Amino acid sequence: MMNGQQYKDSLRKLHPIVYCNGRKIESVVDDPMTAPHVNSAALTYELAFDPEYEDLMTATSHFTGKKINRFTHVHQSTEDLVKKVKMMRMIGQKTGTCFQRCVGFDALNASYITTYKIDKKYGTDYHERLKKYMQYVQETDIMVAGSMTDPKGDRSKKPSQQADPDLFVHVVERREDGIVVRGAKAHQTGMVNSHEMLILPTTNLGPEDKDYAVAAAIPVDAPGVIHIFGRQTNENRRLEGDIDCGNAEYAIVGGETLTVLNDVFVPWDRVFMCGEYDLAQEFVETFASYHRQNYGGCKVGVADVIIGAAASMAEYNGCPKASHIKDKLVEMVHLAESMHCCSIACSAMGHKTEAGSYYVDTLLANTVKLNCTKTMYEISRLAHDIAGGFIATLPYEADYRSEVCHGYIDKYFAGDARFPTEDRIRMARLLENMTGGTALAESMHGAGSPQAMRVMIQRETNWEQKKNFAKRLAKIKTGD
């Protein structure tokens, strides 16, 4: 296993092409725009060596019997699924943000299940290829970016119907030694500070879309790969100081990119689906349910920080004992724990797959994520209510640091005299950044839009059974 520093050193050996705000980033480890995301992911490596968190952060490889970082593990029990959620909550509490590594974790586990099914149906050897690749991932402890979402173009049309065929990643050439893929992946969390990406199909496909049924592992610096770093709501603050950032060490979200694949070659041993279009939707749903499981972990860890910040603001404002403040704080805890309960439940109710790994209860996994799309907004709203409107109107840090303005700001933004004004400002900035547009949009749309969860819940719910429960009590004849 790598520790945090070894992870950073390993990134320095890579040479991805990354553009950000009209310039090329030379080192993602050292550039101020990407360094906080590196720091956040590095903690997933560093905590694996902390005895206090060893049980959550590490596992035993079912391939080799060696101790590995849990983020490279294939779930072997419902206990593994539960530990995953607990691990993510703990890391969320420590970073207050996205630590990015779960997407690849989920992509690997979804691939483990789906490649087994493809092989069973078609007699291919994708599963064996994937097992060898996963052993490589475990041995090297590399960070893999789960790479599913395509730009999609006209949402009313299938991939093969698009005006531009590259709006979904597709195979443009099949060679004796491998394939060539073209297209792009959008909203790619943690991509620039990963070692490799695992691309997956993003939607259900028909026979005419078979070239879009592709799954493969690609280094982030492979020839033909270009990353365009996405703009975030607080990015310029990283260049100006540490107070206005709110969370200067770890940033606020996951450092997303548009990743372009310009005729990228992939050798066959790194190809895990190629043309099996009828299993694309199952690939998507398996990954999505694993990923939606996470939100009662990582987002609850973030919510714990928001709740702590709101409680601190109540103290700094001098009103921690006001009944309405206490009610709001309790409601925030209730909402957070409700999300966590659902993630624990979908894990505990998981089951063993044909491939031998364990998979979540899909109905409950989609339920927790749909809850999260609403709950994180409400937690943030309550935090705004408790903290006060000044979190949105504070002066610049540069003015606070200036000789002319410092005294005025320190005097007039004071709260309870027991606490330094700077502490109140720092906490306010943390809340402003954590509950602003970018973080909330990610809670709403990360791992799929709310409608995607509704579709899965509609599909997974046994409606006839529920109707029969009611009919029996009403003494109406049932069909069973």
Instruction: Look up the CATH number of the domain holding residue 205.
Output: 2.40.110.10
At residue 146, φ and ψ (nearest 5 deg) are -70, 125
256 is catalytic: yes
The Cα–Cα gap between 6 and 347 comes to 32
Is the entire prediction scored with pTM above 0.75?
Answer: yes
- pLDDT at residue 473, as a whole number: 80
**Is the confidence at residue 153, as pLDDT, over 60?**
yes
341 is catalytic: no
- pLDDT at residue 450, as a whole number: 67
* Domain-located, residue 284: no
The one catalytic residue among 46, 196, 256, 285: 256
The Cα–Cα gap between 250 and 77 comes to 32
Is there a contact between 262 and 169 (Cβ–Cβ < 8 Å)?
no
* Domain-located, residue 201: yes
Higher confidence at residue 416 or residue 433? 416
* Domain-located, residue 54: yes
**Is the confidence at residue 397, as pLDDT, over 60?**
yes
Examine the domain organization and report whether 305 and 259 are in the same domain. no
Examine the domain organization and report whether 200 and 333 are in the same domain. no
Examine the domain organization and report whether 60 and 183 are in the same domain. yes
**Is the confidence at residue 163, as pLDDT, over 60?**
yes
Full residue range of the structural domain in which residue 366 is found = 292-473
The Cα–Cα gap between 161 and 74 comes to 36
* Domain-located, residue 478: no
189 is catalytic: yes
The one catalytic residue among 115, 189, 257, 373: 189
* Domain-located, residue 479: no
User: CB neighbours of 124 closer than 8 A, spacing ≥ 6?
Assistant: 118, 276
403 is catalytic: no
Mean pLDDT of 320-342: 94
CATH number at residue 367: 1.20.140.10
298 is catalytic: yes
Mean pLDDT of 423-437: 87
Mean pLDDT of 86-114: 96
285 is catalytic: no
Number of structural domains the chain divides into: 2
Mean pLDDT of 277-284: 96
Q: How confident is the model at residue 250 (pLDDT cuts 50, 70, 90)?
A: confident
- pLDDT at residue 384, as a whole number: 86
* Domain-located, residue 308: yes
* Domain-located, residue 219: yes
The one catalytic residue among 291, 340, 362, 421: 291
**Is the confidence at residue 334, as pLDDT, over 50?**
yes
Examine the domain organization and report whether 60 and 170 are in the same domain. yes
- pLDDT at residue 464, as a whole number: 86
Q: How confident is the model at residue 474 (pLDDT cuts 50, 70, 90)?
A: confident
Examine the domain organization and report whether 254 and 314 are in the same domain. no
**Is the confidence at residue 159, as pLDDT, over 60?**
yes
- pLDDT at residue 446, as a whole number: 65
Examine the domain organization and report whether 180 and 78 are in the same domain. yes
Q: What is the pLDDT of residues 166-220, one digit of tens each?
A: 999 999 999 999 999 999 999 999 999 999 999 999 999 999 999 999 999 999 9
The one catalytic residue among 102, 342, 346, 372: 102
Examine the domain organization and report whether 236 and 383 are in the same domain. no
- From 33-47, 169-183, 237-251, 291-305, the region with the lowest mean pLDDT: 237-251
- pLDDT at residue 438, as a whole number: 44
Examine the domain organization and report whether 98 and 222 are in the same domain. yes
Examine the domain organization and report whether 314 and 343 are in the same domain. yes
The Cα–Cα gap between 242 and 250 comes to 11
Mean pLDDT of 56-75: 98
